Amino acid sequence: MAYNNGFFKKIPPRKVQGGIRAQNKWGSFATRWWGMRWLQTLESFNIGERLKRGMTYARKGQVISLDIQPGKVTARVQGTRRQPYRLYINLKPYSDKEWNKISAAMLEKPEFVAKLMNNEMPDEIESVFRDLHLPLFPQRSGDLHTECSCPDWSNPCKHIAAVYYLMAEAFDNDPFLLFTLRGKSQADFIRMLTAGGAAPQSRQSRPEPEPEPLPEEPSLFWGDCSDFDIQFSETSPVQFHAALPKRLGALPFWRSSHSFVETMEACYKNASVYAADQLDLMSGD
């Protein structure tokens, strides 16, 4: 928004090539409780129109980069000015001592441990954090310290709101990013659980033996194939594509105007058609 002749004039942001786009094109950015819970924090800030514009920024791909590290999120967002804005979102990470308390409490709930080991987030896991007075989610706006280089007086601004929305979508797909933001990666936390609640100890890695190199000559690698009678039957392309990507769902921080699943469907379809053509050629048809 620019000031011109006594009036404020809305100016659209500069277009971004290859920006991070929200996979959700309408409706809520989250479908699971942990993603929705994160959105509740954002919506509680009551920043009005900036919230809607942040949603638009997230869907248009205005976020250039987004990195989630323990206790800190850094991002760059393209606005109306030539230089992208830099922003920071800080959330207090928990200490190793506090994480030891969390893992010990988890070990008292075998059903939670089983789900965590299976890369699932238990529905009632938030209660464990709450009972220890170590909330998993921010409880109030003051828990999140945000900063943006834009001239907007509001904090959070629309650029920060855009990043919040993308984070909600990422949390929806990978809830363990919440653990990372609180200071512990999923792998480290799983190691704490398997160690009985103790913090993972650093171990000197043992050097692994060098693998024996493979033969460079194809005949030595494959051996004598003269006795094999290979027959190729008529093939047709498969009717269902990208079954595994569909199970994985939306890829966080995807950089395309087409969704991840749509893109993978096209790749799988083209690959299956090409493979069928090659097999038909080899069979002599």
pLDDT value of residue 198: 42
Strands 144-148 and 85-91: antiparallel
What pLDDT does 155 receive? 84
Determine contact, residues 250/201, Cβ cutoff 8 Å.
no
How far the first Cα of the chain sits from its last, in Å, is 64
Amino acid at 104: A
Of residues 177, 213, 164, 206, the one with CA closest to residue 38: 164
Q: Which helix (H) or strand (E) holds 89?
A: strand 85-91
Angle, vertex CA 273, rays to CA 270 and CA 276, nearest 5: 150
Per-domain residue ranges for the chain?
A: 11-95+135-184, 237-285
Identify the pLDDT of residue 207: 64
- Local structure of residue 210 (DSSP, 8 states): P
- pLDDT at residue 284, rounded to an integer: 61
If we measure between CA atoms, which residue out of 38, 49, 68, 44 comes closest to residue 141?
Answer: 44
Q: Are 272 and 241 in contact (CB under 8 A)?
A: yes
Q: So what's the pLDDT on residue 29?
A: 85
* Tens-level pLDDT at each residue, the chain (285 residues): 554 555 556 788 889 888 888 887 777 888 888 888 888 877 887 777 888 889 999 999 999 999 999 999 999 999 999 999 999 999 999 999 999 999 999 999 989 998 888 878 888 899 999 999 999 998 877 788 999 999 988 888 999 999 999 999 998 888 899 999 999 998 899 898 888 744 444 444 456 677 788 777 777 677 766 665 666 566 565 666 666 665 666 666 665 656 666 677 777 777 777 776 666 676 665
